[in-house]
């Protein structure tokens, strides 16, 4: 691998924010390992697409081995894969619980642990996780206990790992979005969802991409939970 190229792993990479991150990193000359359940092979030789369930440790193994075999190193990991299930707490099912725990928690743990081992050998690296601002600023009428239980854990572990790895050359950060205009939100919901932000609009995909790229190059920033949420985290409105 050319020393001019850094390597990034992006989870949840087949659509929405993940697909935009793949493009943004390629535009900056990174080699990319892109993974999701439904991802298709790429014609770009500098993108390695690996299909699989990120909550399955075998997928994490394949992603790690694929990255090292194709590109020889791992410089950044973007934990973008996630699910969000909004319903009253007492209505959550066992399947809801298992899905959220698998994608949001196991999906972070397995790949991050494997990648961190390689970064420690290198003495450098950057890990970013995508959380959600609703975990520390709940919104009346949007019941999201499973998001708080799972994505809230990502915010906490981001700060813990930032301290654990602080002298090892590895930075650990998170981006905490509001509601972003992605294909998962049909146009007829946009007006109501816009009203859930103090600025009166939903976020755009590029808002999250810009935040991740800022953290990528912010060498003195670690342990940061960067809120990109139209003011949700500022308080009640």
Domain-wise residue ranges, the chain: 7-228
* Distance of alpha carbon 124 from the chain centroid: 19
Q: Are 113 and 64 in contact (CB under 8 A)?
A: no
Q: Residue written as tokens 């397995």?
A: 110
CATH number of 7-228: 3.40.50.720
**Alpha carbon distance 64, 47 (integer Å):** 14
What are the helix (H) ranges across 38-189? 57-71, 94-100, 107-122, 145-164
The confidence score (pLDDT) of residue 1 equals 40
Q: How many CB atoms lie within 10 A of CB 199?
A: 13
The confidence score (pLDDT) of residue 60 equals 98
What are the helix (H) ranges across 165-204? 190-194
The confidence score (pLDDT) of residue 2 equals 43
Q: Are 82 and 184 in contact (CB under 8 A)?
A: no
Q: How many CB atoms lie within 10 A of CB 8?
A: 26
Per-residue pLDDT of the chain (237 residues; tens, 9 = 90+): 444 799 999 999 999 999 999 999 999 999 999 999 999 999 999 999 999 999 999 999 999 999 999 999 999 999 999 999 999 999 999 999 999 999 999 999 999 999 999 999 999 999 999 999 998 888 888 899 999 999 999 999 999 999 999 999 999 999 999 999 987 888 999 999 999 999 999 999 999 999 999 999 999 999 999 999 999 999 876
The confidence score (pLDDT) of residue 3 equals 46
Instruction: Enter the pTM of the model.
Output: 0.95
Say which residues have a Cβ less than 8 Å from residue 117's Cβ, sequence separation at least 6: none
Give phi and psi for 137, each to the nearest 5: -145, 70
């Amino acid at each position: 691998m050319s020393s001019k190229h850094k390597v990034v792993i992006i989870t949840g990479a087949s659509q929405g924010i993940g697909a935009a991150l793949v493009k943004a990193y390629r535009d900056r000359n990174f080699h990319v390992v892109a993974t999701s359940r439904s991802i298709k092979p790429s014609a770009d030789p500098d993108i390695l697409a690996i299909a699989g369930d990120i909550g399955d440790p075998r997928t994490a193994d394949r992603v790690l081995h694929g990255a090292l075999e194709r590109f020889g190193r791992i410089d950044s990991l973007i934990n973008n894969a996630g699910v969000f299930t909004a319903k009253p707490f007492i209505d959550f099912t066992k399947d809801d619980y298992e899905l959220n725990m698998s994608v949001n928690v196991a999906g972070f743990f397995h790949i991050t642990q494997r990648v961190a081992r390689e970064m420690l050998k290198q003495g450098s690296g950057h890990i970013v996780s995508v959380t959600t601002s609703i975990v520390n600023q709940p919104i009346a009428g949007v019941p999201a206990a499973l998001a708080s239980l799972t994505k809230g854990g990502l915010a906490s572990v981001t700060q813990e790992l930032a301290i654990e790895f602080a002298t090892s050359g590895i930075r650990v950060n998170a981006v905490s979005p509001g509601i972003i205009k992605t294909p998962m939100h049909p146009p007829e919901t946009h007006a109501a969802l816009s009203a859930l932000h103090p600025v009166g609009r939903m976020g755009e995909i590029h808002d999250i991409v810009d935040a991740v790229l800022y953290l990528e190059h912010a060498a003195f920033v670690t342990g940061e939970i960067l809120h990109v949420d139209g003011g949700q985290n500022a308080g009640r409105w």
